[in-house]
Homo-oligomer: A and B are copies of this chain.
Amino acid sequence: MTNGSTPTVLPAGELHGSLGDPLMEVMNFLNEITSRYPEAISFGPGRPYEGLFEVERIGEYLAAYQRHLVEDLGRTPDEVRTLLFQYGRTNGQIHELVARALRNDEGIEAAPESLVVTVGCQEGMFLVLRALFADPSDVLLVPSPCYVGITGAARLLDLSVAHVPEGPQGTDPEVLRRTVAELRAAGKRPRAFYVVPDFANPTGTCMPVEARRRLLELAEEEDLILLEDNPYGFFTRTGTGLPTLKALDERRRVVYLGSFAKTCFPGARVGYVVADQEVEAADGRRTLLADELSKLKGMVTVNTPALSQAVIGGMLLTHDFRLREANKPAADFYQENLAVLLESLERLLPRERREAAGIGWNVPDGGFFLTLTLPVPADNALLEESAREHGVIWTPMNYFYPDSEGGRCQLRLSLSYLTPQQVAEGARRLVGLLERSCL
């Protein structure tokens, strides 16, 4: 910069409103405290455990995908080069492989052309919201508490969001029905409901099969699209798990948001959307919602990186399109962590003692998360004390309430990123905190 020239300063108030929304910075305190207390045991991040990743296998997966292109699909070396290096099909090049895995793992029958391979599940959520929301009266329904990725994406697009309080078994379709009725009475149009039926983030709740069926009926009656997000379904204590909404969906009410972040690895940033709904133009021509999402994706990321698709494709091929089986070691690992956590809490805080103090927790059947309820606010001040004095970090549940109101005396414990030894020691430290603050 030359002397005397004044650099541009942009007033924050002139930037898009989302940038000033506390929602977009909700995780900042957690990230900041994690970096200030690096030695603390952190029940914070919802990341998969890294001990099962192997760097040297990247080359093997890439090679497996290239073999598939040549041997199974008869591609020439020049065509393989094009597929790996050049701009590619907007909706992805591994859609057929993903469709095969979906059939094996979830019993979901999805035509490959109804799939959009996205840059992580996050891009999928973003594209679906952009496609479905057109009118200012359209409202997105989300559970409360809720994963911030969906509310954040909605905020970027200036969408209206309404909250549906969760119960101990996740969303109660009757509560959703009442919210829908209230919105209609207020002149709004409930358009879609975002839901994580299996081991929801942040609560760890799981919807019973009967509630899933009633949710699908309600969607049909109320003309709602269900946005089913399923990152944790494989990680269940009960073996096979419950059928997804999409597997039960007979009327294409469900847009399925898939992720390989937890079942393969997050760094690939590969997710997908099953968007098999038909879209009818004024002239009667029909397309798939996936085709419409393609137009949007072309203007957001053009296409999902070929290299990432190739590695994930190679993993699907290597595991014979059965990721649930391939994830058995990971599922066992998370289940051990969950068992260690529950057992530690139970041992350190037997029922009588915790009930007298007003402490409790839910007992998820799987997933990455558990909800702990305290008799005192689980706020940033307590988190700071927890990290500094007791060496243990967790996430205030209030972070996940879209209206910033609920969950003031609850916290989320994530057990995916720790070893069983760390979980046990973390539980001990956590109870140390509770002994100081509320026992």
State the CA gap A120–B266 with chains docked (Å).
19
A46 → chain B, closest Cβ, in Å? 9
Interface assignment of A6: CB less than 8 Å from any CB of chain B? yes
Interface assignment of A62: CB less than 8 Å from any CB of chain B? yes
Do A119 and B156 have beta carbons less than 8 Å apart?
no
Partner of A251, one of B8, B84, B133, B252: B8
Do B266 and A122 have beta carbons less than 8 Å apart?
no
Interface assignment of A351: CB less than 8 Å from any CB of chain B? no
Q: Contacts A9-B279, A10-B289, A250-B1 given; indicate if A299 touches B267 (C-beta within 8 A).
A: no
Q: 13 A-B Cβ contacts within 8 A?
A: A1-B250, A5-B250, A7-B252, A48-B86, A54-B81, A55-B77, A58-B62, A85-B265, A130-B156, A156-B300, A267-B306, A268-B307, A269-B301
B residues in contact with A252, CB < 8 Å: 7-8
A contact residues, total (Cβ < 8 Å): 94
A379 → chain B, closest Cβ, in Å? 22
User: Nearest B residue to A87 by beta-carbon distance?
Assistant: B266
User: Nearest B residue to A261 by beta-carbon distance?
Assistant: B87
Do A11 and B280 have beta carbons less than 8 Å apart?
yes
Interface assignment of A337: CB less than 8 Å from any CB of chain B? no
Interface assignment of A73: CB less than 8 Å from any CB of chain B? no
B residues in contact with A225, CB < 8 Å: 8, 10
Interface assignment of A298: CB less than 8 Å from any CB of chain B? yes
Partner of A8, one of B50, B88, B253, B267: B253
Do A251 and B7 have beta carbons less than 8 Å apart?
yes
Interface assignment of A24: CB less than 8 Å from any CB of chain B? yes
B residues in contact with A266, CB < 8 Å: 85-87
State the CA gap A306–B312 with chains docked (Å).
13
A307 → chain B, closest Cβ, in Å? 5
Do B251 and A5 have beta carbons less than 8 Å apart?
yes
A:37-83 near B, CB below 8 Å: 47-48, 50, 53-55, 58-59, 62, 66, 77-78, 80-83
Partner of A86, one of B47, B59, B83, B85: B47
Which 4 pairs show the lowest CB-CB distances between chains A and B?
A267-B306, A152-B299, A269-B305, A53-B85
State the CA gap A6–B2 with chains docked (Å).
68
Do A280 and B58 have beta carbons less than 8 Å apart?
no
Interface assignment of A209: CB less than 8 Å from any CB of chain B? no
State the CA gap A241–B8 with chains docked (Å).
27
Partner of A299, one of B20, B80, B155, B305: B155
Q: Contacts A8-B277, A84-B58, A278-B8 given; indicate if A305 touches B153 (C-beta within 8 A).
A: no
A311 → chain B, closest Cβ, in Å? 6
A21 → chain B, closest Cβ, in Å? 9
User: Nearest B residue to A1 by beta-carbon distance?
Assistant: B250
B residues in contact with A55, CB < 8 Å: 66, 77, 80-81, 84-85
Do A16 and B133 have beta carbons less than 8 Å apart?
yes
Do A295 and B24 have beta carbons less than 8 Å apart?
yes
Do B267 and A88 have beta carbons less than 8 Å apart?
yes
A:118-145 near B, CB below 8 Å: 119-120, 122-123, 126, 130-135
Interface assignment of A356: CB less than 8 Å from any CB of chain B? no
Do A15 and B292 have beta carbons less than 8 Å apart?
yes
Interface assignment of A282: CB less than 8 Å from any CB of chain B? yes
